[in-house]
Amino acid sequence: MRIQFLEFSVALILMGAAIAQPYSGEAAELPEYDSSYCVQLNSKMLDADEKNIETNKCLQEEADTKKKLAEHWEIVSEKAFAYCRTSGPGAYRSLLRCLAGNVGYRCFQDELSCNWN
């Protein structure tokens, strides 16, 4: 439940920044992550059925998060992406959390004009 709230909060930050002025820095390219994060995350589960269910759930959450990121990717700078790419596992959810913090910081530094509804 706490992770869902955190992801919801992160999504709100990115949605609020979506109406921000476009970032003038060099744009990053949305990465392509494979399923290895979800497979590794659930690799130690003993029950095969539960392992498959949880892995599929993780893969769906990753796909949903990638879609959210793609909708707002134009505000992600190469510098922010370079930092976030190295600060967590190769997963869209960890990338979203890191980038949302960066977007919020840039709003408070007046690097982005962010309007909150």
Residue 21 has pLDDT above 50, yes or no: no
Res. 104 pLDDT band, cuts 50 70 90: confident
pLDDT by residue (tens digit) across 37-55?
Answer: 999 999 998 999 999 999 9
Taking every pair of Cα atoms in the chain, the longest distance, rounded to a whole number of angstroms, is: 50
User: By C-alpha distance, which of 90, 91, 93 is closest to 6?
Assistant: 93
Res. 58 pLDDT band, cuts 50 70 90: very high
What is the pTM for the complete model shown? Answer: 0.70
pLDDT by residue (tens digit) across 68-81?
Answer: 999 989 888 898 99
